[in-house]
Amino acid sequence: MENLALEGALTVTFVRSLFAHANIVDVDATAAEALPNVQVLTAADMDLGVFGPPPFPGVNPGMGRPLLAVDRVRFVGDIIAIVISDDRATGADAAELVSVDYDPLPAVVSPYEAAKDEVLLFPEVGTNVAARFGSPEHDEKLFGGCDVAVSGTLVSQRMAPCPLEPRSAAAELGPDGRITAWLSTQTPHQDRMVLAGTLGLDPAQVRVVGPDVGGGFGAKMLNVEEVLVVWLARRLGRPVRWTETRSESMVALPHGRAARLEFTLGGMRDGKVLAYRLEVLQDCGAYAVLGAFLPNLTGLMASGVYAIPRIEFESRSVVTNTTPISAFRGAGRPEASQVIERAIDTFAAELGMDPAEVRRRNFIPADAFPHTTASHAVYDSGDYEGALELALRSVGYDELRDEQRHRREQAATTQLGIGISCYVEITNGIAESEFGEVEITPDGGAIVRTGSFSHGQGHETTFAMIAAERLGLPVEKVTVHKGDTDEIAKGTGTYGSKSTQIGGAAARLAADDVLELAKQLVADYLEASPADIVLDPAVGRLHVAGDPSIGISWADLASRASADERLAELKAEHEFQAAPTFPFGAHVAVVEVDTETGRVELRRLVAVDDAGTLINPLIAEGQVHGGIATGVAQALYENFVYDDDGNPLTGTFVGYAFPSSADLPSWEAVEMETPTPLNALGAKGIGESGTIGATPAVHNAVVDALTPFGVRNVDLPANGENVWRALREAKA
């Protein structure tokens, strides 16, 4: 994105709050504006409203974020002023010279403190609670009839998404009054609508272009910075650009997770689970954005892969003086799977039963789909036991248990742990639609235009394969266009692992439509009936059924149609909408734990991930690999932390423990395909599965290694210090 050439563009630098919670008494920009060509803008210069919470039911609309902080800052990183300069270095110099007079307020960092409503972030709202989901009613008899009930707490810690490309945005006002915004984004079309809405423009006046984007992971949705850049380009009448630094990104790009989950799971001594209660306290950060809504997905997926007859769910989302929480790879579903998998292992430990066996006794059976859970999700298809058995076979489960027994008998310093996670997740969670268009080019190739966006997922290849297969074209003859709202009529973008199942499916349907149109044209040319024209996909030739000698290739058809000015007939668009799908799988992790230092080494991770039919197994596996690394990063390494005053302590890549290749093993990904009936491709989403499956497997493995020491849980990330603490507490 930074590579975009934009002649004469001014540089935007944001002046951000150094305090977590304070009133702004005064902003003095005199010294900054003394630098050459520097201009400083504050809230007083703005004529814009609040960047509102997403319009989800149940989210308090009064906790939106002013585009520039007005009178009060609510987290370290809140924007106080904007510096406009000719270049980056001057911008950094000037931002330092903007003097802000703060009147500090007590900071609320912990969500429990926030829930007490003693210090309010939005006094006018009267509470810190931004949203409540589920039911506060307790069924006293929920665990009636259970032999055993186990309880525990899992804190799914705060993570920074860390796409390698920090955010970047540029905007330019055209001579026709239209504004073009280049954004490092996942959602160009949605961005256009929100930009237009926030700036009071007709969407037709806004063009958004998503160039090559270096990763998003859910965090690169439109935010205040992008709105400000576009607003500035209009106000200044000059092109402007902004690229965040990493240390800026670490506090300004929304974070993920940050949920405290309390569970009680009850069942019978034979391993059968009967009832489950889950209570979530979600930290939403300083403003109610998507994070406030995410516990809804956690509640929906509470049942996991198990047939649990009775489930109670309740959540509260509270604002704190920290970076806002939004989507991050998994977004609400990892939390569900982390807690149910920990609960199942805790239950198994209580019964003294093998955790694999407890899972077998509770799976939703493969012949029970579609299946509606007690937490109100309608699962489309699955074979949970099949996935677990495949994973156990692949890892050599029994041999590993033998080795574990041996090390325990030897009282070895380094103990072995084996962890299982069986998960199901939801992709295209809110049943969205996606747009696809296919057009035959003059040389007989095809262009696919998609409303999905690719920022590393490889849609350019996958969607080309889908269309090429339908049209009988070599894949090199198909190019995929995305990300320019002027070229692509509509779109929803890429998040929630929904691209292939709706965007890919739309491309396929559009290709089928084009094929039908081509048959009509060929029928005209051959003086045959369209119904008699068939495609030979092996050679990309349309011919009369039963007589391949009477036909025409795509290249000849395109060339003849061009000459006749009929090429435009070979173009079709299709919008495809479908219900969510539910990818699933089983992961088994093998760890070694140094019981003296607490250090955990992940030795192996076997991952069976079933996302229905795979279009491009290489790309799908790549998604799994990256997903697993993020899941393992949460299990063992990363944790974004603040001190009691709300100062970030992990605000750079030095402090924040983003793992490198040296910290991780190679992955053992095992394919399994159970198609969904919900789209013609049979495909479900794969982008987040690895993350959702890996964290609980590794977490359970660490606890498993320490079982002989009486350890029942280790806080995440299960790093050396947290393992050491768990061992120390178990001894005490």
Partner 1 sequence: MTRIALTVNGSRCEADVEPRQLLVYFLRDQLGLKGTNVGCDTTSCGACTVLVDGESVKSCTVFAVQADGCEVTTVEGLAQGDELHPVQQAFHEQHALQCGYCTPGFVMATISLLKENPNPSEVEIRDGLEGNLCRCTGYHNIVKAVQAAARAGA
Partner 2 sequence: MIPAAFEYERAGSVDEAVALLGRDEDAKLLAGGHSLIPTMRLRFSRPSLLVDIGRLDDLRYVRENRDRIAIGALTRHAELIRDPMLREHCALIGEAAALIGDPQVRHRGTIGGSVAHGDPASDLGTILLTLDAELVARGPRGERTIPAAAFFSGPFENALEHQEVLTEIRVPKAAGTYLKYVRRAHDWATVGVAAARVDGRVQVGLTSMGPTPLRARSVEDALADGASPADAAAHAADDTMPPTDATASSEYRAHLAQVLVRRALERL
Shortest distance, CB of residue 97 to partner 1, whole angstroms? 16
Q: How many residues bind partner 2 (CB under 8 A)?
A: 28
Under the binding rule (CB under 8 A), the answer on residue 462 touching partner 1 is no
Note whether 372 binds partner 2 by CB under 8 A. no
Q: How many residues at the interface with partner 1, by CB under 8 A?
A: 43
Determine the Cα–Cα distance for residues 309 and 330; give it in Å rounded to an integer. Answer: 26
Q: Nearest to residue 149, comparing CAs of 356, 310, 385?
A: 310
Q: In angstroms, what is the minimal distance from the CB of 646 to partner 1?
A: 21
Give the end-to-end CA distance of the chain in Å, rounded to a whole number: 54
What φ, ψ does residue 126 adopt, rounded to 5°?
A: 90, 0
18 is a contact residue toward partner 2 (CB under 8 A): no
The closest of 638, 607, 688 to 297, measured between CA atoms, is 688
Instruction: Give the range of 302-310, 358-366, 595-603, 672-680 binding partner 2 by CB under 8 A.
Output: 595-603
For partner 1, the closer CB: 561 or 669: 669
Residue 44 makes contact with partner 1 by CB under 8 A: no
Establish if 518 lies at the interface with partner 1 (CB under 8 A): no
Cα–Cα dist 210/483, whole Å? 5
* Residues between 147 and 176 that touch partner 1 (CB under 8 A): 161-166
Contact 58, 132 (CB under 8 A): yes
Answer left, alpha or beta for residue 94, where phi above 0 means left and psi between -120 and 50 means alpha: alpha
Strand spans (E) along 657-696:
668-671
Q: Say whether residue 92 binds partner 2 (CB under 8 A).
A: yes
Q: Binds 164, which of partner 1, partner 2, none (CB < 5 to 8 A, cut-off by type)?
A: partner 1
Minimum Å gap between C-beta 724 and partner 2 is 6
Q: Does 654 bind partner 1 (CB under 8 A)?
A: yes
Q: Which of 145, 655, 677, 710 binds partner 2 (CB under 8 A)?
A: 655
Q: At its nearest, how many Å lie between partner 2 and the CB of residue 79?
A: 17
Q: Does 625 bind partner 1 (CB under 8 A)?
A: yes
User: Residue 628's binding partner, choosing from partner 1, partner 2, none, with beta-carbon cut-off 5 to 8 A by kind?
Assistant: partner 1
Min dist. Cβ of residue 694 to partner 1 (A): 9
Whichever of 151 and 652 has its CB closer to partner 2, that residue is 652
Q: Which is nearer to partner 1, 246 or 712 (CB)?
A: 246
Binding-site string for partner 2 from residue 197 to residue 236, where x marks contact by CB under 8 A and - marks none: ----------------------------------------
How far apart (Å, rounded) are the C-alpha atoms in residues 596 and 415? Answer: 10
Select from partner 1, partner 2, none the partner in contact with residue 690, using the beta carbon and a kind-dependent cut-off of 5 to 8 Å: partner 1
According to the binding rule CB under 8 A, does residue 657 interact with partner 2? yes
Q: Are 466 and 615 in contact (CB under 8 A)?
A: yes
Say if residues 358 and 344 touch (Cβ distance below 8 Å). yes
Report the nearest approach of partner 2 to the CB of residue 637 (Å).
6
Contacts of 514 (CB under 8 A, 6+ apart): 438, 439, 440, 446, 471, 570, 571, 572
Give the sheet arrangement for strand 179-183, strand by strand. 39-42, 79-85, 10-16, 240-243, 168-173, 179-183, 206-209
| 730 part of the interface to partner 2, by CB under 8 A | no
Segment 675 to 714, residues that bind partner 1, using CB under 8 A: 690
Dihedral sign for Cα atoms in the order 218, 292, 283, 263: negative
Cβ pair 656, 719 in contact under 8 A: no
Minimum distance between the CB of residue 249 and partner 2, rounded to whole angstroms?
12
Comparison of 692 and 727: residue with beta carbon closer to partner 2 = 727
Q: Is 89 in the site for partner 2 (CB under 8 A)?
A: yes
644 binds partner 2 (CB under 8 A): no
**Residue 5: closest CA among 245, 246, 239:** 239
DSSP summary character for residue 366: T
Alpha carbons 451 and 440: distance in angstroms, whole number: 18
By CB under 8 A, residue 603 contacts partner 1: no
Measure Cα distances from 113 to 18, 121, 281, 591, 673 in Å. 21, 12, 11, 36, 46
Based on DSSP, count helices (H) and strands (E) in the chain, helices before strands.
18, 30
Strand order in the sheet with 99-104: 72-73, 22-28, 99-104
Please tell me whether residue 259 binds partner 1 under the rule CB under 8 A.
Answer: no
Rounded distance, CA 120 to CA 126, Å?
Answer: 7
Closest CA to 634 of 713, 725, 706, 715: 715
Pattern 59-98, partner 1, x by CB under 8 A = -----------------------------xx---------
| Binding region for partner 2 (CB under 8 A) out of 103-111, 212-220, 657-665, 678-686 | 657-665
Binding positions for partner 2, rule: CB under 8 A: 88-89, 92-93, 96, 245, 247, 596-597, 599, 637, 641, 649-650, 652, 654-655, 657-660, 662-663, 719-721, 724-725
Binding positions for partner 1, rule: CB under 8 A: 2-3, 88-89, 161-166, 212-215, 217, 245-247, 455-458, 618-619, 622-623, 625-630, 652-654, 658, 660-662, 664, 666-667, 690
